[in-house]
Amino acid sequence: MPASGARIMALSSFTVANYRSFLRPTTIELRPLTLLFGYNNSGKSALLRALPLLADSVGTPRGAPLNLDSSAVRGASFRDLCCQLSPRRLIDFALAWDGLEVTRHYQLSVLELPGPQAEVLPPVVSEFGTEQSPPWGTPTSLWGTWLPKHEFQTTGQALYDVHLDEKNIESYPLAFRGISPEAVVGERTVSISLRDALRELVWQLEHLRDDVHWLGAVRRVPHRSKEFRGSAPPKLLEDGTGALEVLVQDKLRGGSLLTTVSAWFEKHTRQRLDVTEVAPRYYALTLGPLASPGVRVNVIDTGEGMAQVLPVLVLGAQARQEGAHDTLITLEQPELHLHPALHAPLADFFCDIAMRPKPPRALIETHSENFLQGLQLAIVQGRLDPARVGVYWVQQLDDGSSTVDLITFDDKGLPSRWPPGVFAEDTELARRILKERRAKEGR
Amino acid sequence: MRVVIEAPLLVSAQLAKHPLALLELFNLCLDQECHTLEIEPPEAPALKLWTDTLTPAQRDEIDLILDASVERQLRDPPMSVVRVADVEDAEWEGTVPRLPLRGAIALLRKPLRVLIEGINDEAFLHATVPHFYRARFEDWSKRELLKVEHRGGLQNLHHALEQECQVRERRLRLFVLFDSDARKRGEPHPESRKVARFCERKTLTHHQLQRRAIDNYVPPPALERWLKRNHSREFDGKWLPRLQSFRLLTEEQRHHYNMKRGLRGDREGSGLADIFARFIDEKPDQAALLEEGFSPAVAESFQERIPDAWLAQDGQTPELMQLFEKLLRAA
């Protein structure tokens, strides 16, 4: 493990520029609970999916440096990811981590240049930089700028003009494995400090790959039953696949995760969740009324909302149970298909996670007013520290570019600002109906 | 405005004397979305006694207004508060005035008057309102829930405010926007400080611009657009070099440059601020181009909407968000 103790560092913010509709640099500060609100097509999902994209781009993906096979881009090309409001084929990303008195920053620009015959060449990292401020000693920094004339197309290596701690150590061959810069073995003797700086960064990025969990808005219902072959997948897929296996494995190991997930169903739906062995090694997830323990219904035969929220709860419970400060869960519309009455209880579930001593971080895209009000209630009741939650209003401007505005809360749950009219749509419609009715009645 | 109806009013002699007045108050709030209305305490039996006397359609309206008001209290509550009480005359003791029913209706009928210095300040507001607040600001302006009034320069504005504040009800329907006239960051002109102090003393909702004047909120691309349009023949020869020199200024210098009359205007007036000394020493040729400003009409740039991206690039968005937040919540 690197001396900095990077393992305990959690992603604290990320920045994108010229990415999708985010023409200008846009930074999201990640609190234990961070919500993205906005109208349709404002850019919320694009913003949220930047994280799984970057996490999937650590290592050796095809089409480096960005893994365009990642499901977070839905088959988009690099050009599709670039903001169309700019002619530049360049995307800037920045990531910041914080830990116990340590901060790390990594930024990179991914560039696509046309080839000599105007053909599309694979994008490259045109610039990168990393800085680390350790609790002791001096901060270290490493910056590199691509030297295009020295690219070795066949090997994926390229020469970079490298500065380490502000000292230019001249051009140096580097190979990017995804977004991770690595020294080329055998090319030249690597200075120890450069090797260490690269190693620490790569090590941090590898944790990013493991630490970011993503659940999309469109989730599959679990299998009716599934054979359990001894181990669950390390991560749920973005459509929730794997939730059944995770719960089966958990039950076989004592069931603490299952207890947490079931507790939510029990409290708010009066149903208990269980893993039932339907045949040797074949398991199903079942729900049954607390009042009638003999009745068990397969989850996929219950209301759609129950099956849809299940992976959300599993992912939240995993993050809660692991107590891993560096875990980041990114969720798209966790409330989908749930009755509005259950949105606030779902918010409570995440408030509870956010208030743990070293909480994981959750980035949640939602359209739910009740979810928001659930947070406000938790704040005013003292169950959620307002400093642990932030809301971003994502909006698209007239020119098609998107921006974000951070909304914070005071200890009475009052937001620092709120976009006028948002969540007042129903009363606004009712107001119009009543006015029309009044005009018709001649009042 | 947040209107709190004290429950005893609902069964008072005042209401018996003017039975339609309370409905009129609710109707006002139905029409003018800037106000919220609540009953205190919310579950008072007097409310049911009163609504039982209404038609079902009227009861629907009352319910809607009370529900909509609760929603706004959760997210963007109005800043100024009045209580409507069973009192003969307005009571001004304490922080929240207590008004009789007729007095409250008269007050709520009045728009929020936005007092500004000059005619271009109104254009400034319309041109720079951030996307976040634009729909509400434009809607309320169109429906005259907000009414902009010019009061000349800072001195006139101060006199006007003294007059306005002689009538206590008027204070509740005022918002004041004024230049800082600051020659450097964080040092508003004494006249501007005087207005700010007056507003604070009288608890008037106000915004003192952080930059020198509204002219300093014209982002460079908007300035270029305006110069090209109004001085197309002289643009390349005269205005472009001046604009390029202007772009070389630091942020603090741009925010406090005399846009109308340039460096000379200040030098011949109350004196040139020391923030320009280094620029003049190091770049005398560029500084010479800034001796004259961009003409007294430069604020006409606000006749056309300024794209949000230009405002953001110029670093204005946080202040503008704060300005419009205060203004709309004051309504």
Answer whether residue A160 shows pLDDT above 60: yes
Residues A291-336: tens digit of each pLDDT: 999 999 999 999 999 999 999 999 999 999 876 788 999 999 999 9
User: Is there a contact between A331 and A364 (Cβ–Cβ < 8 Å)?
Assistant: yes
User: Is there a contact between A362 and A33 (Cβ–Cβ < 8 Å)?
Assistant: yes
Residue A432 touches partner B, C-beta closer than 8 Å? no
| Interface contact A403-B131, CB threshold 8 A | yes
Name the pairing type of β-strands A10-17 and A90-98.
antiparallel
Nearest to A375, CA basis, from A415, A416, A341: A415
DSSP string, A270-318: SEEEEEEEEETTEEEEEEEETT-TT--EEGGGS-HHHHHHHHHHHHHHH
How far is B146 from B139, CA to CA, in rounded Å?
A: 9
Residue A42 touches partner B, C-beta closer than 8 Å? no
User: Is there a contact between A99 and A32 (Cβ–Cβ < 8 Å)?
Assistant: no
Q: How many Cα neighbours within 13 Å face the side chain of B186?
A: 0
Answer whether residue A6 shows pLDDT above 50: no
What pLDDT score does A5 carry?
45
Answer whether residue A151 shows pLDDT above 70: no
How far is A247 from A238, CA to CA, in rounded Å?
A: 17
Interface of B with A (CB under 8 A): 30-31, 33, 57, 60-61, 64, 67-68, 71-72, 74-77, 131-133, 135-136, 307-309, 312-313, 321, 325, 328
What pLDDT score does A309 carry?
97
Chain pair A-B, CB pairs under 8 angstroms: 74
| Interface contact B132-A421, CB threshold 8 A | no
How far is A99 from B294, CA to CA, in rounded Å?
A: 51
| Interface contact A427-B74, CB threshold 8 A | no
Counting Cβ atoms within 10 Å, is residue A48 exposed (0-12), middle (13-18) or buried (19+)?
buried
What are the angstrom distances between the C-alpha of A354 and each of A264, A357, A362, A378? Answer: 16, 8, 8, 11
DSSP string, B227-262: HHHHSTTTIIIIIHHHHHHHHHS-HHHHHHS-TTTH
| Interface contact A403-B60, CB threshold 8 A | no
Amino acid at A158: A
Whether omega for the bond prior to residue A52 falls within 30 degrees of 0, making it cis, is no
Q: Which residue has the tokens 């129903």?
A: A426
What pLDDT score does A59 carry?
84
Answer whether residue A3 shows pLDDT above 60: no
| Interface contact A421-B135, CB threshold 8 A | yes
| Interface contact B136-A430, CB threshold 8 A | no
Q: Which residue of A has its CA nearest to B322?
A: A417
DSSP state of A154: T
Q: What is the largest CA-CA distance in chain B?
A: 80
In sign, the C-alpha dihedral spanning A239, A241, A242, A247 is positive
Rg (CA), chain A: 24
Q: Which residues contact B280 (CB under 8 A, 6 or more apart)?
A: B263, B287
Q: Which residues contact A161 (CB under 8 A, 6 or more apart)?
A: A144, A145, A147, A168, A170, A171, A172
Q: Mutate which of B74, B140, B304, B319 to disrupt the A interface (most A C-beta within 10 Å)? A: B74
- Taking CB atoms and an 8 Å cutoff, what residues of chain A touch B307? 397-399
DSSP state of A174: E
Which of A376, A397, A427 is facing B308, going by the closest CB pair? A397
Answer whether residue A155 shows pLDDT above 70: no
| Interface contact B75-A415, CB threshold 8 A | yes
Residue A441 touches partner B, C-beta closer than 8 Å? yes
| Interface contact B75-A430, CB threshold 8 A | no
Whether omega for the bond prior to residue A420 falls within 30 degrees of 0, making it cis, is no
Token pair for A366? 């939602």
Which of B64, B131, B325 is facing A417, going by the closest CB pair? B325
Residues A321-333: tens digit of each pLDDT: 876 788 999 999 9
Residue A60 touches partner B, C-beta closer than 8 Å? no
Helix, strand, coil percent values for chain B (each to nearest 5): 55, 10, 30
Residue A27 touches partner B, C-beta closer than 8 Å? no
| Interface contact B75-A434, CB threshold 8 A | no
Q: Mutate which of A26, A434, A438 to disrupt the B interface (most B C-beta within 10 Å)? A: A434
Q: Which residues contact B137 (CB under 8 A, 6 or more apart)?
A: B125, B126, B129, B146, B324, B327, B328
pTM for the model stands at 0.90
| Interface contact B67-A373, CB threshold 8 A | no
Token pair for B168? 């206590």
- Taking CB atoms and an 8 Å cutoff, what residues of chain A touch B33? 431
Residues B13-57: tens digit of each pLDDT: 999 998 899 999 999 999 888 999 999 999 999 999 999 999 999
Residue A18 touches partner B, C-beta closer than 8 Å? no
Residue B286: beta bridge partners?
none
Which of A414, A423, A443 is facing B71, going by the closest CB pair? A423
- DSSP H or E stretch at residue B11: none
Which of A376, A398, A430 is facing B74, going by the closest CB pair? A376
- DSSP H or E stretch at residue B150: strand B146-150
Residues A183-229: tens digit of each pLDDT: 876 656 667 788 888 999 999 999 999 999 999 999 998 999 999 99
| B130-147: average pLDDT | 96
| Interface contact A418-B76, CB threshold 8 A | yes
User: Is there a contact between B137 and B112 (Cβ–Cβ < 8 Å)?
Assistant: no
Closest Cα in chain A, distance from residue B58 (Å): 9
Name the pairing type of β-strands B2-6 and B36-40.
parallel
User: Is there a contact between A430 and B64 (Cβ–Cβ < 8 Å)?
Assistant: yes
Q: Which residue of B has its CA nearest to A419?
A: B132
Q: Which residue of B has its CA nearest to A412?
A: B74
Answer whether residue A245 shows pLDDT above 60: yes
What pLDDT score does A325 carry?
82
| Interface contact A398-B131, CB threshold 8 A | yes
In the three-class reduction of DSSP (H, G, I as helix; E, B as strand; rest coil), residue A392 is classed as strand
Answer whether residue A441 shows pLDDT above 90: no
What pLDDT score does A4 carry?
44
Token pair for B149? 């009034």
Length of chain B: 331
Answer whether residue A432 shows pLDDT above 90: no
Inter-residue long-range contacts of A66-69, CB under 8 Å, 24+ positions, other chains counted = A66/A91, A66/A110, A66/A123, A66/A178, A66/A179, A67/A178
Residues B184-193: tens digit of each pLDDT: 999 999 999 9
| Interface contact A398-B312, CB threshold 8 A | no
| Interface contact B307-A419, CB threshold 8 A | no
Residues A372-386: tens digit of each pLDDT: 999 999 999 999 999
Answer whether residue B99 shows pLDDT above 70: yes
Confidence of residue A2 (pLDDT cuts 50, 70, 90): very low
What pLDDT score does B324 carry?
98
Crossing angle of helices A425-440 and B56-75, rounded to 10°: 150
Confidence of residue A152 (pLDDT cuts 50, 70, 90): low
Which of A397, A431, A441 is facing B309, going by the closest CB pair? A397
| Interface contact B76-A397, CB threshold 8 A | no
Token pair for A32? 């234990």
How far is A332 from A334, CA to CA, in rounded Å?
A: 6
Answer whether residue B330 shows pLDDT above 80: yes
Backbone angles phi, psi at B88, to 5 degrees: -75, -50
Name the pairing type of β-strands A10-17 and A26-29.
antiparallel
Q: Which residue of B has its CA nearest to A375?
A: B74
What pLDDT score does A351 carry?
98
| Interface contact B136-A398, CB threshold 8 A | no
Q: Which residues contact B58 (CB under 8 A, 6 or more apart)?
A: B23, B51
Output the average pLDDT for chain B: 95
Length of chain A: 443
- Taking CB atoms and an 8 Å cutoff, what residues of chain A touch B135? 420-421
Counting Cβ atoms within 10 Å, is residue A192 exposed (0-12), middle (13-18) or buried (19+)?
exposed
Residues B246-297: tens digit of each pLDDT: 999 999 999 999 999 999 999 999 899 999 999 999 999 999 999 999 999 9
Q: Which residue of A has its CA nearest to B328?
A: A420
Backbone angles phi, psi at A270, to 5 degrees: 60, 30
Burial per residue of A51-63, b for 16 or more beta-carbon CB atoms within 10 angstroms, e otherwise = bbbbbbbbbebee
Amino acid at A436: E
Residues A102-135: tens digit of each pLDDT: 899 999 999 998 877 777 788 999 999 999 887 7
Residue A119 touches partner B, C-beta closer than 8 Å? no
| Interface contact A438-B132, CB threshold 8 A | no
| Interface contact A420-B309, CB threshold 8 A | no
Q: Which residue of A has its CA nearest to B137?
A: A420
What pLDDT score does A154 carry?
54
In the three-class reduction of DSSP (H, G, I as helix; E, B as strand; rest coil), residue A416 is classed as coil
Answer whether residue A138 shows pLDDT above 60: yes
User: Is there a contact between B24 and B37 (Cβ–Cβ < 8 Å)?
Assistant: no
- Taking CB atoms and an 8 Å cutoff, what residues of chain A touch B72? 424
Output the average pLDDT for chain A: 91
Nearest to A314, CA basis, from A232, A243, A365, A364: A243
| Interface contact A424-B72, CB threshold 8 A | yes
- Taking CB atoms and an 8 Å cutoff, what residues of chain B touch A434? 30, 57, 60-61, 64
Name the pairing type of β-strands A282-289 and A271-279.
antiparallel
Residue A439 touches partner B, C-beta closer than 8 Å? no
Answer whether residue A62 shows pLDDT above 60: no
| Interface contact A437-B71, CB threshold 8 A | no
Q: Which residue of A has its CA nearest to B77?
A: A414
Answer whether residue A409 shows pLDDT above 50: yes
Nearest to A26, CA basis, from B75, B312, B62, B173: B312
What pLDDT score does A1 carry?
38
Counting Cβ atoms within 10 Å, is residue A222 exposed (0-12), middle (13-18) or buried (19+)?
buried
How far is A393 from A403, CA to CA, in rounded Å?
A: 8
In the three-class reduction of DSSP (H, G, I as helix; E, B as strand; rest coil), residue A37 is classed as strand
